[in-house]
Structure 1
Amino acid sequence: MHMQANGTKGPQILIVEDDPEIGRLLAETVNDSGMTASIVEDGHAMYALMRKQAFDLIILDVMLPGEDGISLCRRIRAEKTTPIILLTALGEEVDRIVGLEVGADDYITKPFSPREVVARIRSILRRASYGFARVNGQRPMRFEGWRIDPLRRQLHDPSNARVALTTTEFDLLLAFCRNPGRIITREELLTLTHSGLAGPIERSVDVQISRLRQKIESDPKEPMLLKTVRLGGYLFTAAVEEA
């Protein structure tokens, strides 16, 4: 099954869900909220459609026929920074953490309320700056040779190569760059990033910090830029200045 809503206005949302009833409910919820939903049933159909069309966000069921959602999420994240919400009937913490580790931006557990789905989609799209016209001018910043651009939502390393970050990773790094030399608690990080991450707060943030370290630290196991403060939170040690 491949179903696409009429009209192309608003954010384009790709739903990968093999249960027709749940797929239709998600699509109706998305379309009724001023967005446009496309539905496919598995990873093969997902990639076929993604080659033809760009999407602003993907809702990806974990339990799919063939390649599962966790594996698909990992593959998408290796190629793209498109925000991903994982959808599953499993509510155990381990599943949420695995989802975050492979690069998901958020997690919704079945059964879900349409209002919750819309709220999470809109939160992530705001954070991903859907529609640059709504973004106020924000100056790029530099730290240790790195350059972060809040407006274009881009990060370049000291060799000027662009480094791909997920929406959540970028928001975390931006929060640290705006608060250098200050200990920030996990709860503050969630507030600063407007994040609606599912699951236990501490583990969710820790997983995202670990992913961020993999991208900005010379040795992620011995981080120099992004340090853990015991019982406190995290400290960004780099000097930050406007670019």
Structure 2
Amino acid sequence: MENEPKILVVDDEERIRRLIRMYLERENFSVEEAEDGEEGLALALEQDYDVILLDIMMPGKDGVEVCRELREKKATPVIMLTAKGEEANRVQGFEVGTDDYIVKPFSPREVVLRVKALLRRSSSTKFLQTETTTKNVLVFPHLTIDNDAHRVTADDEDVNLTPKEYELLHFLAKAPDKVFEREQLLKEVWQYEFFGDLRTVDTHVKRLREKLSKVSTDAAKMIVTVWGVGYKFEVSGD
């Protein structure tokens, strides 16, 4: 089928790749595999996938490095596969732009549910969006966020964001001029609570500003740093 979601599974363990593939194909996903980071990155840059499942600990190029290099070129949604006890690696993963993570050992059913949830949040998967009778759009000077289409435009040009970057922008924009602490943003946007990974928020804000700046410096300036506290979305008067 033409509109089958296309998934890339990158893991050095064949058993895990085969298991994930079997369950995803049962749900009518199209699945491709890569056995290491080099191969996975090459495929991810060469082709367009709807979601990439990426093992964090691989020989050679690990998942963090693959995600970092991928994010320089593409906003493909990424779910990192991590082992228990790799909390520091998960923090690194979020910093380089991972959208979600699954801890091994995992149930294949959890993988399917996480993939479906990320597809629903992804701007690239129009076929999974639900039709709504009311238009859920936030309109500001220089910036429009269409939440039904998961589409962001700045000065009438599309801005290509990862699902997590989009969620962060939408969350801030829903409450203009309200200051959010980094801890609040981690909890609300990442649904993630542990101390020591506040850099994740800073990194995503930086990346979000950079992407907006390429299209509209006015839109980028709407994300304001409140020193010592966190961030807010500020609407200028023009």
Normalised to the residue count of structure 2, the TM-score between the two structures is 0.75
Alignment pair present for 1:62 and 2:56: yes
Match of 1:67, SS? coil
Unpaired runs of at least 5, structure 2 = none
Per the alignment, residue 169 of structure 1 pairs with 165
2:10–2:40 Cα contact (<8 Å) kept: yes
Alignment size in residue pairs: 229
Per the alignment, residue 224 of structure 2 pairs with 226
Partners of 2:6 and 2:192 in 1: how far apart?
21
Superposition pairs of residues 73-222 of structure 1, within 5 angstroms = 73-89=67-83, 91-129=85-123, 130=125, 131=127, 134-136=130-132, 138=135, 140-158=137-155, 160-184=156-180, 195=190, 203=198, 204-205=200-201, 207-216=203-212
Task: Give RMSD over aligned pairs.
Answer: 3.6
Match of 1:176, SS? helix
Q: Which moved more, 1:137-146 or 1:107-116?
A: 137-146
Match of 2:72, SS? helix
Match of 2:81, SS? strand
2:45–2:74 Cα contact (<8 Å) kept: no
CA shift, 1:91, in A, is: 3.1
1:181–1:236 Cα contact (<8 Å) kept: yes
Amino acid at match of 1:46: G
Q: For the structure 1 residues 10 and 112, does the alpha-carbon distance in structure 2 shift closer, same or farther, using more than 3 Å as the test? A: same
Match of 1:38, SS? strand
Q: Which moved more, 1:209-218 or 1:160-169?
A: 209-218
1:86–1:107 Cα contact (<8 Å) kept: yes
CA shift, 1:57, in A, is: 0.2
Per the alignment, residue 25 of structure 2 pairs with 31
Amino acid at match of 2:14: P
Q: For the structure 1 residues 162 and 213, does the alpha-carbon distance in structure 2 shift closer, same or farther, using more than 3 Å as the test? A: same
Normalised to the residue count of structure 1, the TM-score between the two structures is 0.74
Q: For the structure 1 residues 92 and 35, does the alpha-carbon distance in structure 2 shift closer, same or farther, using more than 3 Å as the test? A: same
Q: Which moved more, 1:16-25 or 1:40-49?
A: 40-49
Q: For the structure 1 residues 114 and 201, does the alpha-carbon distance in structure 2 shift closer, same or farther, using more than 3 Å as the test? A: farther
CA shift, 1:43, in A, is: 3.5
Unpaired runs of at least 5, structure 1 = 1-6
CA shift, 1:113, in A, is: 2.1
Partners of 1:112 and 1:87 in 2: how far apart?
9
Amino acid at match of 2:234: T
Match of 2:35 among 41, 53, 59: 41
Partners of 1:108 and 1:198 in 2: how far apart?
15
